[in-house]
Amino acid sequence: MFGLNDEEKIIMEMFGKLEISQNKNVKFETIQKKLKPKYHDNLKKNIDNLIAKGLIRPYRVNNYSLTDEGFRIAHALWEKRKEKAYDFRILRRG
Residue ranges of domains in the chain, CATH in brackets: 6-84 (1.10.10.10)
- DSSP readout, 22-49? SS--EEHHHHHHHS-GGGSTTHHHHHHH
Range in 1-10, 14-23, 43-52, 84-93 the model is least confident about: 84-93
Q: pTM surpassing 0.95? A: no
pLDDT of residue 76: 93
pLDDT of residue 56 exceeding 90: yes
The strand pairing partners of 57, in sequence order, are 65
**pLDDT averaged over the chain?**
88
